[in-house]
Amino acid sequence: MRACVPLIVALLCGLTWAGKMESCASRCNEKFNRDAACQCDRRCPRHGDCCDDYEDLCTGEENLEEAEPFLELEEEMEEAPGSNLYSAPNSCRGRCLEAFDKHHSCHCNARCEEFGNCCEDFESLCAHEGFSHSSDAITKEELQSISEKIYKVDTNKAQKEDVVLNSQNCIPPSETRDQVDHCPEPLFTYVNEKLFSKPTYAAFINLLNNYQRATGCGEHFSAQQLAEQDAFLREVMKTAVMKELYGFLRDQNRYSSEQEFVNDLKNMWFGLYSRGKDKGDSSGFEHVFSGEVKKGKVTGFHNWIRFYMQEKEGLVDYYSYIYDGPWDSYPDVLAMQFNWDGYYKEVGSAFIGSSPEFEFALYSLCFIARPGKLCRLSLGGHSLAIQSYTWNKSTYGNGKKYIATAYVVSSTQ
């Protein structure tokens, strides 16, 4: 893919630049300083203007809970901590394993005991959740190892000749709200549609049109559509990708049988909950892979196959991108802006050229291992992270939570 040129996004696009640089020594977490040559506030990774030593000096273990995702999708944050999803801000009810939020008076994350800022009912409500200090927690090293294994066995991914992109213009993050079309041509120049005849691709595509994209409109699945959900799960479980994931989670004592794993996947991804006024109007799968429209904005929609098919039909207009991943083969990552049949997506990150089972596996892994947190992975020797959020208004089976969203962010840590 084409690299970014504008100086303001040099760090986003993996470039280096010369000139006057300052240090973050004694400046960590300071407010934005317009007169400084570089910044040390928590938003500088997002805006690409951190000092060179920001990561070394300001992103130690004590700050990781507060660090913002590198590419935070603001329209996603209605499901994020700090919203009105919690029944009581001074309680851990519905908040176990949430990400750190400095606005809360007490906390329910994995390190609150270490910092002495847990809510009073933390132990009684969250002891069963499996925090990082427990003996059965999944470590960062284990996540990196299993993600590399999943990456290597994704034989259904696109080859370089299967997908040709025309990424065109890279813009700075400060311009993403302008809704200006900087790219006159489509994103996809060519896709080898023979990929779509592979069993997992075909089963995945069958699911995409089973949803009403407007939140507030209840979903009512036919018998055939329910069968298509089962068919998708059946096909992905045949792949080396999902077998690798299941074997890992089984060894971690998360599941005792493959059927238990599949049942949980079906609930967390396809179980319906209510984002809008109508009951059962959304699910994790609809939000992440098919896309939704809420309050006049596109939410979710993080899948390249869906994007390509909608662009081919003239329903998606590609506007620009702000991040192009470091991979020189597929899967890659692109963070972009686009218009979906009259509705704008300010920042939409997506794997490019990955198989459906690859995305499904990594999002599932991170939701299970790091719900509500940044999940740091390694793919082909390059770091990235996945951010997921739980849906806290309703649960399934023993209080388990549905997927509210999951998406790729870049990880420079």
- What radius of gyration, in Å, describes the C-alpha atoms of the chain? 21
Residue 371 in tokens: 């719900």
Cα 14 to the center of its chain, rounded Å = 20
Residue 400 φ then ψ, to 5°: -70, 150
Active-site residue, 382 included = no
Active-site residue, 302 included = yes
Task: Tell me the H-state helices in 165-270.
Answer: 199-208, 223-236, 240-251, 258-270
At a CB cut-off of 8 Å and minimum separation 6, what does 385 contact? 69, 70, 374, 375, 376, 377, 408, 409, 410, 411, 413
Looking at residue 5, its amino acid is V
Catalytic residue among 104, 157, 294, 345: 345
Catalytic residue among 157, 302, 373, 401: 302
Active-site residue, 182 included = no
Catalytic residue among 287, 294, 373, 401: 287
- How far apart CA 11 and CA 17 sit, in angstroms, is 8
Cα dist from 99 to 31, 69, 158, 315, whole Å? 22, 11, 34, 35
The set of catalytic residues is 287, 302, 345
